[in-house]
Amino acid sequence: MSEDANKVPDAWVALPSREQARAVMPANHPYDFGSPPAMARLVLAHPGIAPFFGALFQRIMFEPGALSRPEREMVAAVTAAAQDCVY
């Protein structure tokens, strides 16, 4: 058996299924592209923080503020790219 076969991953989280994530996504969610976003599944894996993160995300991305919605999306995309984040 190779050494890699015995290695425990550095990080591992059991994600909820797509069906479980879909069940809690509101109808007509702006990020519903036919499959629940992986980030939503990751957040749902942590029920202690999921409601708070969801409320914060909702406020940052959708409530009135100094930046337009497209500007907020651009900031999020650039930040994710700078951190080499696939979500």
pLDDT confidence of residue 61: 92
Q: List strand residue ranges (DSSP E) for the chain, in order.
A: none
Tens digit of each residue's pLDDT (9 = 90 or more) over 55-65 = 999 899 999 99
Nearest partner of 15 among 45, 40, 51, 47, judged by Cα: 45
- 8 Å CB contact between 87 and 39: yes
Does the pLDDT value for residue 32 go beyond 60?
yes
Q: What percent of the chain has pLDDT over 90?
A: 43
